[in-house]
Chain A
Amino acid sequence: MNALSSSLGQGAYSTLPPTLTERLAKWLQWPAAIALMLGALYLVFVIYTTGQAAWAVGLLALFGAGFYVYLSRGGFAWRYLFPGVAGMLVFIAFPLVYTAQIGFTNYSSTHLLSESRVREYLLEQRDAVEDQVLGYSLHASGAEYRLALRAPQDGSPEAAPHWVSPPLALRAGKELRVELAAADAAAPPLNAALPLPELIQHREALAGLVLALPDASAPFRELRYLGLREFGPVKPLWTANADGSLTRALDAAVFKPNRDTGFFESASGEVLQPGFKAFIGVANYARMLVDAEFRGPFLSIFSWTVVFSALTVVFATAIGMLFAVMLNWEGMRFRTTYRTLLFLPYAVPGFISILVFKGLFNQNFGEINAILDALFGVKPAWFADPLLAKTMLLIVNVWLGYPYIMILCSGLLKAIPADLYEASALAGASPFTNFFKITAPLIIKPLAPLLVSAFAFNFNNFVLIALLTDGRPDFLSTKLPAGQTDILVSYTYRIAFKDSGSDFGLAAAISTLIFFLVAALSLINLRLSAKAQK
């Protein structure tokens, strides 16, 4: 960076000679840039060769932009902007776009891989040729090992082998091709065969061996590991056809990729696992509207999300504003202490206070029920009863949220000119009149956009739900598990990462829906802030 900019910005007024590090940086500038460029190109190339062309192009664009910004003479400001803007584009903008794209696919635990990867996987499946299987034994030979193979009719490992391998180091990892030689009766006999427990230790290395028989004309020349007792020739289960379909070696049935369902399917309707990622259009969205079994819980989760965020904002605003007004009242003593104490819920990390409430509300061990039991003799089931669970969420969320509103209101109250209250005091107005005729109308305008963003925040308040109730109690008899206290984001998390088969596509479709709601809320927010500034 230093050298780059000094080569550009050095003006006629430069007096200091370049320091050693500056000169060094100047010399190393191009070699370093070229080395980086080669590294980047190599990475792009590797990704491209594994069939991920879209990712490779995206990465190439990112690297290209980076090198252009730092090596060209134009776009000076972008040298400062690039890391930040790239971070936002890659980790915020791109995930949003990618989510929307996933929403149109069937990406899920049964459709994890791309079509080409599934085809590769199937083509790698092999089966042993039954009547050509050979028995083997492994013999130590110094630090290395020799394999001895014999035909099944030869019987026990003590029988003379047909073929033996040269000494092998037997390291697990890469595939290794080994030429076998016919056993020589005159050669010194092999050491005793390794017992089974030791053989098991070499299993991985043996699995990587490809043994070639010396007879080049044999129909099945290559032998592969089949088990702890046998090596034998294998034949692939599938052969690829030019049109992308696969033929099963067993019965010559042709399986064509069905790009609507994401499976390889035969004409008779037989389906192969695993499925592949396929573009399925608006099917995920149609599910939200058409599928009655899914729509029921989805709509009630949606309405609970709205109710939850709205009630949180209403209660938090009521309490926060009340205390802001009280703390703003000069007749009140100890105001700073009160303010700090009331601010505490905001300062304690959310994940800790939410979990503290989870413990306090516990039906049997929790302190809240202990108190309620002592006072009224009741032990409400805070986590099992839907209505109580929702009430608890609201209580906790208001506890977490009111200090924020209080701080906002305190700031806004300070801006109200004091002479308004003086005038109203002369007229003998009560504090309530003061509040509703002077305070509220004056702060509602600047407060409105902030309340909208608080609403948007709670609309996506995943952490609260995930840590407090995890969406439970669940709706009974739904196809996809859905919780009565789930809000939309926690529901998508559950669909994608929890018990219900990881349906990433459906989760992404719901997320996309939330994007639009958030965008709408942001728009309202901007409108209201513009109005407040007038």
Chain B
Amino acid sequence: MAIVLGKQARWRTFAAHAVMWVFIAITLFPLLAVVSISLRPGNFATGSLIPTEISLEHWQLALGIPYQAADGSLVQPPFPVLTWLWNSIKIATASAFLIVAISTTAAYAFARMKFRFDRQVLNGMLLLQMFPPVLALVAIYAIFETIGTYVPALGIETHAGLVLAYLGGIATHVWTIKGYFETIPVEIEENAKVDGATHWQAFSRVLLPMAIPILMVVFVLAFIGTIIEYPVASILLREEGNLTLAVGSKYFLHDQRFLWGDFAAAAVLSGLPITLVFLLAQRWIVSGLTAGGVKG
């Protein structure tokens, strides 16, 4: 813009930066505080926010290594954080794979085929997605209890059951992939079919390799979505060794047993990788946001 800047403008810039700095400080305070707390000895707030003495006791406990306290006693890890992390990763990976598989095929049908009620089915799916599973927890619990009496491997307290429960949340992913498929010219697949490829071959050998970027994005989104999911996991998993990180973390901050330092280390350990993945995928997430998705 070719605008002549007055004398006021410099003050304005200065004020804007000042506001920015103050607000960024407020925003970052909790995140920086938790890193510092994880390095501070003991589980209680003792004075300074910048630790005067660095101790790795909480990190040791978070990694499952018993810690030798100053008085000689051996402190055992309070919770199996690494088991929880592994449970979370296992469940999220399996769910994300299955979600990508079934939303890709569904998106292919919506993007490339004509069938009766196609608009209605798609709109119905998007509409259903507006009702979060947290509203139907009672029913989900009852359903998995019933499933468990006949197929124990998929019942309450099983990871397979939880993965199954997550397979309903695909509508936004279908929408995202469908949008991407529609940017790929249909002629390429038609040529493949002329050369003798079947429908399935045209889909799996021609279209899918071209759509790998979006499949990876959806995988990351589904992965993060399930790894941070709390409500359904909290009713289907109850035993300590079975929990996911999202469900287990809250036990650190029980009123009668407030393990602030241990929690901080576990939080940084598990939160950092997820945050980094999220920031890397930010570009696509942001473009997906405007399509109507809300952070879950």
A residues touching B (Cβ–Cβ < 8 Å)?
1-2, 5-6, 8-11, 13-16, 43, 46-47, 50, 52, 55, 75-78, 80-81, 83-85, 87-88, 90-96, 98-99, 102, 107, 319, 323, 326, 329-333, 338, 340-353, 355-360, 362, 365-367, 370, 399, 404, 407-408, 411, 418, 421-422, 425, 431, 450, 453-454, 456-457, 460, 462-463, 466-467, 489, 492-493, 496-497, 504, 507-508, 511, 514-515, 518-519, 521-522, 525
Contact = CB atoms under 8 A, between A and B. Distances in A.
A78 B129 CA distance: 20
Given A331-B9, A342-B27, A348-B31, A518 B20 contact: no
B260 interface: yes
Contacts of B137: 492-493, 496-497, 511
A356 B30 contact: yes
A366 B46 CA distance: 10
Contacts of A508: 138-139
A349 B136 contact: no
Interface of B: 1-3, 5, 9, 12-13, 16-17, 19-20, 23-24, 27-28, 30-31, 33-34, 37, 43-45, 47, 49, 101-103, 105-106, 108-110, 113-115, 118, 121, 125, 127-143, 146, 149-151, 164-171, 174, 193-196, 198-200, 203, 224, 227-228, 230-231, 234-235, 245-246, 249-250, 252-253, 258, 260, 263-264, 267, 270-271, 274-275, 278-279, 282, 286, 289-290, 292, 294-295
B16 A329 contact: yes
Contact of B132 (A345, A454, A460): A460
B291 to A, nearest CB: 10
A407 B289 contact: yes
Contact of B139 (A80, A99, A344): A99
B135 A359 contact: no
B33 A85 contact: no
A13 B23 contact: no
Contacts of B275: 344, 347-349
Nearest to B248: A351
A323 B23 contact: yes
B16 A362 contact: no
B170 A467 contact: no
- Which DSSP category, helix, strand, loop or mixed, fits chain B's interface? helix
B168 A90 contact: yes
15 contacts: A16-B196, A91-B167, A96-B131, A98-B136, A99-B135, A326-B16, A332-B17, A340-B279, A356-B33, A367-B33, A404-B295, A456-B130, A489-B135, A496-B138, A518-B135
A359 B258 CA distance: 9
B207 to A, nearest CB: 12
B260 A362 contact: yes
Contacts of A411: 286, 290
Contacts of B101: 83
A96 B127 CA distance: 13
A345 B27 CA distance: 7
A326 B289 contact: no
A356 B34 contact: yes
Given A344-B28, A425-B1, A11 B228 contact: no
A123 to B, nearest CB: 20
B134 A507 contact: no
A88 B138 contact: no
Contact of B109 (A80, A453, A504): A80
Nearest to B230: A463
B9 to A, nearest CB: 7
A504 B142 contact: yes
Given A76-B115, A81-B109, A351-B249, 10 more contacts: A15-B195, A96-B136, A333-B17, A349-B275, A365-B45, A365-B260, A370-B45, A411-B286, A431-B12, A453-B294
B142 A102 contact: yes
Given A349-B274, A462-B134, A344 B170 contact: no
